[in-house]
C-alpha cells in the first residue's frame, strides 16, 4: 500500500489503509446488507486501484505560512483546503497540471479566490482526461470578471502539456459551493475532447456527465449490456442517458434506442456522438425522465436506468412498472436509493435476478451496482405453496442436500466448502449423518478441520434450510 500524507485531514479515502482485496469484500458485504438477497455477486475490482480518477476538481488557496499557492480539496466536514497535487487516486497527469497552474499563478501574480470575502480570481480547476487518447480538457473557474494575461497562461500551459487540447474559462462569482458557474468561454481548442468505449467515440464537454474511472466504466457498461441481453428486435429506453454512452453501445445490438436526459448540452453531445458513430437507430430527447415516460406510447422491451445519486422518482418507477418491459437494468452509484426505487417493480411482479457491484471508487466506501430485474412469465410460472407437514418430513437431513448447501454458500458468501466440512458442522449441531456418508476407512488419517469463516457460512445455510 502507498502512503498518503493528508489522508487524516482529507477524509476522501476512508479505506486508504485497507488492503484492496479486503475493500472489495467489505463492499460486497455492505451490498448484501442493503439488498438482503443472495443475488449480490462478488465486486468486480480494478487491476490497479491507484490514480484511476480521470475527472478531477480542485480548489486553490494560499498557504499562510509559506505564502505559496497550492491546489487542494476540502477537508472533511469543513471548507478548509488540504493540498491534493500528490493525490493517490487522481491521474498523475492531473496532479502535474495542478502543480503547474499554481506556479504560473504565482509568477503571473494571479490571486486566489477567497470564499469569505468573495475577492480574488483563481477559484477552481476542472480537469478531464481521455483514457483512449490521453487528451486533456482544462476548465479554469474564476471568481472575477476576467483572467489576467489569459493568452500567456494558455500558451504556457499548452507548451508545458501538449496533451491539453482545449482550455475553457468558467465564470463563477456566486457565493456558493457549486464549482462551475453558468457562463463560460473557450480560450483554446474546440471546447471538448473525445474518448472511446467499446469501439465507439464520445465527445466530452465541460458539462457532460462522464464516469470518473474509464477503465472500470468499460467493465460497468459491459456488465450492464451483458445482463440486458439486447436482441435486434428490442426497443430500448435509456433514462438519464447523459451524452449517450450506454444508449449508443446498446444501439449496436438493438432495433431502436430512445435516450432521455434533462441536460440540453448532454443531449447535444449525444446526438453528435450518434451521428459521429453512424448509429441512426437512435433518438434523443431533452426532458425530465418522469414526465417523458408518462407520455410514452410504445412499450420498450428493455429499460436502462443510470440516475444521479438521488435516484429515480416514484412516479417514474410506477409508470415503468405499468409499461411492463421484459427487462430492467438499473445502474446506480447509490444503492440506498436504488433499493427504494425498485420496490414498485417488485410489487408489480419483478424479481431481482442479479446484482453485480463494480468498483469505480477504490479506497472509498462507494461502489456502483448493476441490478437486473425481470418479470415472471405468468403463462409459464406457477407458484405453489407446500406446507412441511404435507411432505411428511421426518428428519432435518431431508431438507437440503450437500449440493444445495454448497450452492447456497457459494452464492451468498463466495466460499467453496467441502462435504467433509458440512458433515463436521452438522455433527456439531446434533444432526445425524446419513448411513452412507463417506467416512475414511483409515483409522489414523489426519482430518482437516473446518475454518471459523466457513463454519459461520455453513451455520447460516443450516438456518436457511431450517435444519437448526
What domains are defined for the chain? 53-196 (2.40.50.1070), 213-375 (3.40.50.150), 388-464 (no CATH)
**Average of per-residue pLDDT across 305-309:** 93
Does residue 419 or residue 444 have the better pLDDT? 419
Partners of residue 83 on adjacent β-strands = 72
Tell me the pLDDT of the chain averaged across its residues.
Answer: 88
Cα dihedral value 65, 69, 74, 75, nearest 10: -20
What is the C-alpha to C-alpha distance for residues 163 and 157, in angstroms, rounded to an integer? 10
What is the structure's pLDDT at 433? 63
**Average of per-residue pLDDT across 144-161:** 94
* pLDDT classification of 126: cutoffs 50, 70, 90: very high
What is the structure's pLDDT at 136? 97
Whether the predicted pLDDT of 435 surpasses 60: no
Q: Which residue, among 327, 318, 312, has the nearest Cα to 225 in the 3D structure?
A: 327
**Average of per-residue pLDDT across 150-172:** 96
Please state, for a pLDDT cut of 90, what percent of the chain lies above it: 65
Q: Which residues contact 339 (CB under 8 A, 6 or more apart)?
A: 34, 35
What is the structure's pLDDT at 206? 86
SS3 318: helix
Whether the predicted pLDDT of 266 surpasses 80: yes
What is the structure's pLDDT at 415? 83
Whether the predicted pLDDT of 419 surpasses 90: no
User: Based on the number of CB atoms within 10 Å of its own CB, is 109 exposed (0-12), middle (13-18) or buried (19 or more)?
Assistant: exposed
What is the C-alpha to C-alpha distance for residues 256 and 457, in angstroms, rounded to an integer? 45
Cell triple for residue 212?
Answer: 470518473
Q: Are 321 and 300 in contact (CB under 8 A)?
A: no
Q: Which residue, among 220, 163, 216, has the nearest Cα to 188 in the 3D structure?
A: 163
Cell triple for residue 419?
Answer: 462435504
What is the C-alpha to C-alpha distance for residues 33 and 27, in angstroms, rounded to an integer? 10
**Average of per-residue pLDDT across 378-388:** 40
Whether the predicted pLDDT of 342 surpasses 80: yes
What pTM was estimated for this model as a whole? 0.76
* pLDDT classification of 384: cutoffs 50, 70, 90: very low
Number of H helices, E strands in the chain: 15, 16
Q: Which residue, among 63, 187, 99, 89, has the nearest Cα to 137 in the 3D structure?
A: 187
Q: Report, as residue numbers or ranges, the catalytic residues.
A: 333
Q: Are 150 and 169 in contact (CB under 8 A)?
A: yes
Q: Which residue, among 250, 204, 197, 240, has the nearest Cα to 332 in the 3D structure?
A: 240
What is the structure's pLDDT at 377? 54
Whether the predicted pLDDT of 427 surpasses 60: yes
Q: Are 168 and 140 in contact (CB under 8 A)?
A: yes
What is the C-alpha to C-alpha distance for residues 262 and 281, in angstroms, rounded to an integer? 21
Whether the predicted pLDDT of 329 surpasses 60: yes
pLDDT digits (tens, 9 = 90+) for 194-226: 999 989 999 988 888 888 999 999 999 999 999
What is the C-alpha to C-alpha distance for residues 465 and 445, in angstroms, rounded to an integer? 31
What is the structure's pLDDT at 437? 46
**Average of per-residue pLDDT across 226-244:** 96
**Average of per-residue pLDDT across 356-362:** 97
Does residue 135 or residue 181 have the better pLDDT? 135
Amino acid at each position: 500500500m502507498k502512503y498518503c500524507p493528508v489522508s487524516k485531514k482529507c477524509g476522501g479515502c476512508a479505506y486508504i489503509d485497507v488492503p484492496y482485496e479486503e475493500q472489495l469484500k467489505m463492499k460486497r458485504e455492505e451490498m448484501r446488507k442493503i439488498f438482503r438477497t443472495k443475488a449480490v455477486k462478488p465486486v468486480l475490482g480494478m487491476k490497479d486501484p491507484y490514480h484511476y480518477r480521470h475527472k478531477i476538481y480542485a480548489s486553490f488557496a494560499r498557504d499562510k505560512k509559506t505564502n505559496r499557492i497550492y491546489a487542494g480539496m476540502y477537508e472533511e466536514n469543513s471548507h478548509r483546503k488540504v493540498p491534493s497535487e500528490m493525490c493517490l487516486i487522481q491521474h498523475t497527469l492531473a496532479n502535474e497540471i495542478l502543480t503547474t497552474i499554481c506556479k504560473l499563478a504565482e509568477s503571473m501574480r494571479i490571486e486566489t479566490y477567497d470564499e469569505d470575502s468573495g475577492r480574488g480570481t483563481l477559484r477552481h480547476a476542472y480537469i478531464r482526461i481521455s483514457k483512449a487518447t490521453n487528451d486533456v480538457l482544462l476548465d479554469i473557474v474564476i471568481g472575477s470578471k476576467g483572467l489576467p494575461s489569459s493568452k500567456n497562461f494558455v500558451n504556457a500551459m499548452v507548451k508545458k502539456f501538449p496533451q491539453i487540447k482545449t482550455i475553457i474559462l468558467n465564470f463563477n462569482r456566486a457565493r456558493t459551493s457549486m464549482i462551475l458557474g453558468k457562463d463560460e468561454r473557450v480560450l483554446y481548442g474546440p471546447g471538448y475532447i473525445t474518448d472511446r468505449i467499446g469501439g465507439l467515440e464520445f465527445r466530452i464537454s465541460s458539462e457532460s456527465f462522464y464516469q470518473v474511472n474509464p477503465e472500470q466504466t468499460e467493465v460497468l457498461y459491459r456488465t450492464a449490456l451483458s445482463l440486458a441481453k439486447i436482441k435486434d428486435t428490442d426497443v430500448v429506453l435509456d433514462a438519464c442517458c447523459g451524452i449517450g454512452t450506454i444508449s449508443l453501445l446498446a444501439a449496436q445490438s438493438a432495433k431502436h434506442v430512445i435516450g432521455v436526459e434533462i441536460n440540453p448540452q448532454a443531449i447535444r453531445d449525444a446526438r453528435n456522438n450518434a451521428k459521429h458513430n453512424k448509429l441512426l437507430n437512435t433518438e434523443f430527447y431533452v426532458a425530465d425522465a418522469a414526465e417523458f415516460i408518462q407520455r410514452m406510447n410504445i412499450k420498450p422491451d428493455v429499460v436502462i436506468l443510470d440516475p444521479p445519486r438521488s435516484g429515480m422518482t416514484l412516479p417514474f418507477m410506477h409508470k415503468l412498472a405499468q409499461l411492463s418491459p421484459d427487462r430492467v437494468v438499473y445502474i446506480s452509484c447509490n444503492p440506498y436509493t436504488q433499493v427504494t426505487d425498485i420496490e414498485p417493480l417488485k410489487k408489480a411482479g419483478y424479481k431481482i435476478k442479479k446484482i453485480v457491484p463494480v468498483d469505480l471508487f477504490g479506497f472509498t466506501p462507494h461502489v456502483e451496482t448493476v441490478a437486473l430485474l425481470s418479470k415472471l412469465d405468468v403463462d409459464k410460472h406457477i407458484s405453489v405453496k407446500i406446507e412441511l407437514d404435507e411432505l411428511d418430513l421426518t428428519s432435518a437431513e431431508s431438507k437440503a442436500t450437500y449440493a444445495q448447501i454448497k450452492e447456497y454458500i457459494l452464492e451468498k458468501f463466495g466460499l467453496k466448502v467441502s462435504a467433509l466440512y458440512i458433515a463436521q458442522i452438522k455433527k456439531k449441531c446434533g444432526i445425524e449423518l446419513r448411513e452412507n456418508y463417506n467416512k475414511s476407512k483409515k483409522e489414523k488419517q489426519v482430518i482437516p478441520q473446518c475454518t471459523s469463516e466457513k463454519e459461520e457460512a455453513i451455520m447460516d445455510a443450516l438456518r436457511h434450510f431450517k435444519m437448526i
